[in-house]
Amino acid sequence: MSVKEVNGGYVIDFTLNHERYRETIPAPHNKTASKRIEEQEAIYKMAISLNDKAIAGRFPNSKIIQKAFDTGCDYTIHDYSNIWFKQKQRNWSHTTIRGYTQKYNSYIKPNWGHLLLSDFKASMFDEWASSSLLSGKSINETRNVLKQIYNRAFMDEVILKDPTDFIQRYKQTHHEPIPFTNHEIAKILGALKLPYKSYFQMAFYTGLRTGELLGLRWEDVDLFKRCAYIRVNLIAGIEKAPKTSGSIRRIELHDLALQALTDLKNSEYYDPKRVFIDPRTMREYKYADGLRKYVWKPTLQKLNIQYRYPYQCRHTYASMMLTQGRNPMWVAKQMGHADWGMIRKVYGRWIEQ
């Protein structure tokens, strides 16, 4: 660090974190001013040696010091969460938006939303996680939301480093699928009427994801060739591409899946475009929540069958096909996985059987 006299003042020249900075100070007109420059030089030296933002904060009008010590960040975590959410939500599904919003409002906002981005430390998250009763999965999902907020701020050069890089993932407990038995499937389908029966029969005997079922169009179904083409995903009433490139696929239709489609096509609930429509509105579904709350859940309660989310229909299909001796690669292709790694990981027990 050096102080050099120039016309009309002094230039303080210093290097910090391998970057060079220069600050020009007007020349003093009296001894008191000269002492102030000496004091300022001493403070600069102390700040550089400690890399101390608090000391640098004594010079709020200095653009050089603000840049050198990164004291210019005045965004709170909550401020930047709004920026991140607004920029990214267009690419998210309805369920992703709901999940992110729940994690942010429940855990991030009340704990750290008021903090400046630059004031948050990784240890704050670890301290919260260590006393939390949440599962490892929920803690990791919360970490993921926080990390995306910080990643956006880092990419926008609002912060110089991302403290969430130092938060490690937490151990998650793996829960095995709980597929429905043939007896349970028969009871459920026997208790349902069209078009709900056809919907859940297709879910049990194709393993399609919810968005794929809701998005299925008659133009994608070939009853004669006993196949269907999965080309769209219906999320919040909007057609989108399937989850991954591997999810765009041709599937073979099981006899009972074929029967479900045939029954529906010959019923009053036939719609020329969409295979599954809401019988109350005679229009395509916007969300699947209604099916779960008002059809699926009451039916299982009425039949005294252990409650599982409708997604377990997909697990049921996979376990059923593997138990029948189907090739795991064929099952992976039917379900839209790029390879059979996920099948082996999730359904290994049924492969052995």
Find the mean pLDDT for residues 15-25. Answer: 69
Nearest to 121 by CA among 85, 83, 150, 154: 150
- Domain for residue 175, yes or no? no
CATH classification at residue 161: 1.10.150.130
Dihedral pair phi/psi, residue 232, rounded to 5°: -135, 160
Predicted local distance difference test score (pLDDT) of residue 287? 78
Please state the domain count of the chain: 3
C-alpha–C-alpha distance, residues 199 and 213, integer Å: 8
pLDDT at 232 over 70: yes
Whether 34 and 81 map to the same domain: the answer is: no
Cut 0.85: pTM above it: no
For 163, residues 6+ apart whose C-beta sits below 8 A from its C-beta are 120, 121, 122, 150
What would the mean pLDDT of 162-176 be, rounded to a whole number?
82
Say yes or no to pLDDT of 64 above 80: no
- Considering the domain boundaries, does residue 174 fall inside one? no
pLDDT confidence band for 201 (50 / 70 / 90): very high
Please report which confidence band the pLDDT of residue 125 belongs to, taking 50, 70 and 90 as the band edges. Answer: very high
For the chain, where are the E strands, in sequence order? Answer: 2-6, 9-16, 19-26, 221-222, 227-230, 233-235, 238-240, 249-252, 277-278, 283-284
Strands of the 19-26 sheet, one edge to the other: 2-6, 9-16, 19-26
Alpha-carbon distance values, 274 to 132, 195, 209 (Å) = 45, 13, 16
- Domain containing 103 equals 77-166
Q: How many CA atoms lie within 13 A of 82 on its CB side?
A: 6
**Is residue 285 in a domain?**
yes
**Does residue 343 fall inside a structural domain?**
yes
User: How far is 47 from 33, CA to CA, in rounded Å?
Assistant: 21
- The residue type found at 21 is Y
C-alpha distances in Å from residue 4, one per residue of 45, 56, 198, 200: 15, 21, 84, 81
Whether residues 158 and 93 fall in one domain: yes
Q: Per-residue pLDDT averaged across 346-352, rounded?
A: 55
Q: Let me know if residue 279 belongs to a domain.
A: yes
CA-based nearest residue to 202, from 219, 221, 183 = 221
Does residue 189 sit in the same domain as residue 336? yes
Domain end, chosen from 48, 69, 90, is at: 69
For the chain, the residue count is 353
Mean pLDDT of the chain: 82
Same domain, 97 and 50: no
State mean pLDDT over 245-261.
Answer: 90
